[in-house]
Amino acid sequence: MVAQRFEDWADNGQVEGDLLAEIIRNQRLFPVFQPIVDLRSGECLGHEALIRGPENTPLHAPYHLFNAAIRHQQLHRLELLCRRCSLQRFATAGLPGKLFLNVSASLLSTPDHQHGFTAELLQQLGIPLERLVIELSEQHPFDHHGLTRAAVEHYREMGFNIAIDDLGSGYSGLKLWSELRPDYVKIDMHFVRGIDQDSVKREFVRSICNIGHSLHCQIIAEGIETVEELHTLQEMGVRYGQGFLLGRPDAAPAIPLDPLAIRKGYVDGSRAWRSVNTETAQVLARPIPAVAPDDRLCEVSEIFRQMPQIGSVPVLLDGEPVGIVRRAELLELFSAQYGRALYEQKPVSRLLRQEVLIVDCDTPLEQVSQLITEQDEGQAIQQELLITLEGCYLGMGSVRDLLKRITELKIRNARYSNPLTLLPGSVPINREIDALLQKAADFHVAHFDLNGFKYYNERYGYSRGDQVLRQIGGLLARHIDPAHNFVGHVGGDDFIVLFRSRDWYEICTRILADFEAQRVELYKTQHFEAGGFRSRDATGTERFQPLLSIAVGVVYPDPYKCTSHHEVAELALEASRGAKRCDGNAIFENPERFLRQPWREQAPPR
């Protein structure tokens, strides 16, 4: 079904209805969040929640999901569920600022709403009411009725902010604006696309800004994709913006790019998948305003005055960092007699310091720390670093924050890692699997298990046994690229690898070949040459035990059927048994993507 084209599939109403019912029953909805940014200060105003159905299904996109819900008379149930999921995720992710929530207009007049469903939920989650902005579309793709003033007033009286979404996409936008008096108006992306090259679009946006100004309503430009569009909107004084250029919708959105720092030549790049346990320089990036080498020192001084907590200001040339200006040096210069009068009009380049560490936001924290300690011995340790995305300035980080974060991670990792191999143990493995299922990601799980380990331990002693486990841990870590895959050690001789790369089979084959080559070091010569040794089994019968080998059981979990790591673990164990039935080193893939269990079929809808 997954591989079928949407058109073929959509003809089949029954299948669509079943999938929709299953999504609603098991709450398989995944909100993503897109930042909305202040185009003047670079601050994040908040995030818009956008819903996704399970990945790799025809109901992944909200358009198809809501249309299916309309066809099957499930719109209201779906809508309430979307709201619940979005609010819960927003609360657990701890996102800053406001939450912009899309609401289908016709729902406003249903009894569910009169009874304060949303307010109650917010209270349970500890989110203040004024952080919520209800987005109403003037021409909602799914629904054209029900946007009444009374219903909107009801929301407003409860303390929510109101936004009109997609202004300009329908016919009645201005009428709605005048009637509803929203707090925000979002300009449809039609007017943003190519605005730098279209004077008519600029005129429309200018008029919208003027009306907004008179009615005390804030304007948000949607769908900003290019640097040129951004700059045009900034020049026109549009206050807020949203779009792929500033930040893509994501389950755990990165800090948005600072619109003041984005310069021509910036390219939006896709980032490599990374384990939830690997943190990068991005977590350190704080959006500190930047200056250019030609700016005057009084402007730097003003930034320091407004931000007493920062020790330096970044200097950019065409969006790329070239150095910093330090607070202490500026103060020293200004505090000399007539210092301020003499120097405040001088260019920033006069105090520019180039000896600052510049790192890409994808650099793992450990590596950043290494770069700092590797600096010349004679040089004073730097207190700050400049963080870039594809060469362009993203933010500044402090060495203090870096050390703090690394210490926290070390403590957490030590608590949850296997003491023998220092690989992540079952808690982080399970967390990782659940995170992948949540994202409805495409991944393979490989369970590595040693055949005959018990007899090896008995024959050679536990200390040699531990050495074998360490060797396998090292082997896995060497062959597995952590940027795409994840290695964990459950305990004993059980290891788990989560593969997001497609070449999992080739990687497993190479690991087995390496293990086979290293096996000679684990045995006395006579045992190795004989291909094993004799030992007694549990019943006291003497049996020949062949050399150690690895059984790899692989599964490909179906993210919209497996709800947690428990089911994935069950599948992996089944596959591992299959691999153990083969002789020697073996890889076995379990063709079942999900084990049917009678109790699941009967589970009441949640």
Binding site for Mg ion (CB under 5 A): 102, 135, 165-166, 222
Three-state DSSP at 135 gives: strand
Name which of 103 and 392 has its Cβ closer to ligand C2E: 103
95 contact choice in Mg ion, ligand C2E, none (CB below 5 to 8 Å, kind-dependent): none
- Any contact of residue 225 with ligand C2E (CB under 6 A)? yes
Does residue 280 belong to the site contacting ligand C2E (CB under 6 A)? no
Provide the β-strand partners of residue 16: none
Beta-bridge partner residues of 45: none
Near ligand C2E in 518-547, by CB under 6 A: none
82 near ligand C2E, judged by CB under 6 A: yes
223-231, 254-262, 276-284, 532-540 -> range binding ligand C2E (CB under 6 A): 223-231
What phi and psi values does residue 446 have, to the nearest 5 degrees?
A: -115, 125
- Binding-site string for ligand C2E from residue 51 to residue 80, where x marks contact by CB under 6 A and - marks none: x---------xx----------------x-
CB of 189 to Mg ion, least distance (A): 7
Question: In angstroms, what CA-CA distances link 159 with 61, 155, 162, 547?
Answer: 31, 7, 10, 71
Contact 314, 386 (CB under 8 A): yes
For the chain, give the number of residues: 606
SS3 67: helix
Binding partner of residue 116 among Mg ion, ligand C2E, none, CB under 5 to 8 Å per kind? none
Q: Which of the listed partners (Mg ion, ligand C2E, none) does 62 bind, with a CB threshold of 5 to 8 Å by partner kind?
A: ligand C2E
Q: Hey, which residues between 249 and 278 contact ligand C2E (CB under 6 A)?
A: 249
- One symbol per residue from 174 to 193: x for binding ligand C2E (CB under 6 A), - otherwise; what is it? ---------------x----
Binding partner at 78 among ligand C2E, Mg ion, none, C-beta below 5 to 8 Å by kind:
none
CB of 264 to ligand C2E, least distance (A): 18
Radius of gyration, alpha carbons of the chain = 29
Q: How far is CA 11 from CA 207, 269, 452, 570, in A?
A: 45, 36, 53, 35
Q: Which residues have a Cβ under 8 Å from the Cβ of 145 and sit 6 or more positions away?
A: 105, 106
Binding-site member from 74, 137, 301, 590 for ligand C2E (CB under 6 A) = 137
Instruction: Rank residues 135 and 589 by Cβ distance to ligand C2E and give the closer one.
Output: 135
CB proximity list for 277: less than 8 A, separation 6 or greater: 409, 413, 424, 428, 432, 486
Q: Which is nearer to Mg ion, 190 or 577 (CB)?
A: 190
Buried b (16+ CB within 10 A) or exposed e, 125-162: eebeeebbbbbbbbbbebbeeebeeebbebbeeeebbb
Q: In angstroms, what is the minimal distance from the CB of 87 to ligand C2E?
A: 10
DSSP, collapsed to helix, strand or coil, labels residue 445 as: strand
Interaction between residue 87 and ligand C2E (CB under 6 A): no
CA gap 6, 50 in Å, rounded: 21
Closer to ligand C2E by CB, 165 or 279: give it: 165
Residue type for 320, please?
E
* Nearer residue to ligand C2E within complex by CB, 53 or 428: 53
Nearer to ligand C2E, 82 or 330 (CB): 82
Residues at the contact surface with ligand C2E, assessed by CB under 6 A: 34, 49-51, 61-62, 79, 82, 86, 102-104, 135, 137, 141, 165-166, 189, 223-225, 242-244, 249
